Amino acid sequence: MYYFLCDNHNSRNQAIDCANDYDREICDNCGAIHIRYKGIFKFKIMGKLYDYYTYIGMPVISEKFLNILRENGYTGFEVSETAPRYGTVTTVGDPIKEKYYRLTVTGRCGPICDMNGEPFPYCKKCKYKMDSIGLIATGVSFAPDAYDGSDLFAFDSLYNIPIISEKVKNVLIKSKLTNLRFVPLTEYIYDAKITKEHAIRRIKKGVAYPELIEAWLKYGVLTEQELNEQLDKSYD
């Protein structure tokens, strides 16, 4: 069994935004926005200090967590320094003495697949998963030959949620790290729904990309005929 490593999102104890500098790139094939943070990563921690946070989809780990990864010789990640501070929603407080690191998962297991091993539609250019394809499914999987064997790894098309094995999970539990939540891949809800009305609105606005339209036809969001009607209108 494999698990996504998530945190326990909770409004009182969490890591929150602290104005970071970043470069922003929009994929011209699928519209996905890719953000690359620059400099030392800043964030605020509200409430108690825990060992793990996913802050805006970015995993952050404590020094204790990092030591456990290193002591066990785990592969598939890189870390960089951060500058955490105490804080609330509206205020920034003092710097935190404990060290935290931003975790970048480098291990890979190919695109996200459904339980039958068929990849969900993803952008062929930036490789990221496409939202709003018109599908909701329970359970995801990866192709064994696409997995590079790293201890920490992620889907090409969802690269910021770490995946771990049962064995690694047990080590993390035994180490008493806090704020971890393990979501079995087989129970993960792949939610990429969209209504017909919303899809039509996107076509009208000109923000429906060819690969997305292909997915809408595949998953029955639109029929061929409904699509053609919209395209005819938009050329008027």
| Residue 103 or 130 having the CB closest to Zn ion | 130
103 versus 123: smaller Cβ distance to Zn ion? 123
For Zn ion, give the closer residue by CB, 30 or 61.
30
Q: Which is nearer to Zn ion, 109 or 126 (CB)?
A: 126
Q: 109 near 154, Cβ under 8 Å?
A: yes
- Residue closer to Zn ion, measured from CB, 29 or 75: 29
Residue type present at position 141? S
CB atoms < 10 A from the CB of 231, how many?
12
Shortest reach from residue 233's CB to Zn ion, in Å: 26
Measured distance CA(16)–CA(117) in Å, rounded = 35
Nearer to Zn ion (CB atom), residue 16 or residue 27: 27
> Which residues bind to Zn ion, rule: CB under 5 A?
27, 29-30, 32, 123, 125-126
Between the alpha carbon of residue 194 and those of residues 16, 82, 87, 135, 198, the distances in Å are 28, 37, 36, 8, 6
The minimum distance between CB 29 and Zn ion, in angstroms, equals 4
Q: Smaller CB distance to Zn ion: residue 26 or 137?
A: 26
3-state per-residue secondary structure call for the chain: CEEEEEECCCCCCEEECCCCEEEEEECCCCCCEEEEEECCEEEEEECCCCCEEEECCEEEEEHHHHHHHHHCCCCCEEEEEEEEEEECCCCEEEECCCCEEEEEECEECCCCECCCCCECCECCCCCCECCCCCEEEECCECCHHHCCCCCCEEECCEEEEEEEEHHHHHHHHHCCCCCEEEEEHHHCEEEECCCHHHHHHHHHHCCCCHHHHHHHHHCCCCCHHHHHHHHHHHHC
- Smallest separation (angstroms) from Zn ion to the CB of 37: 19
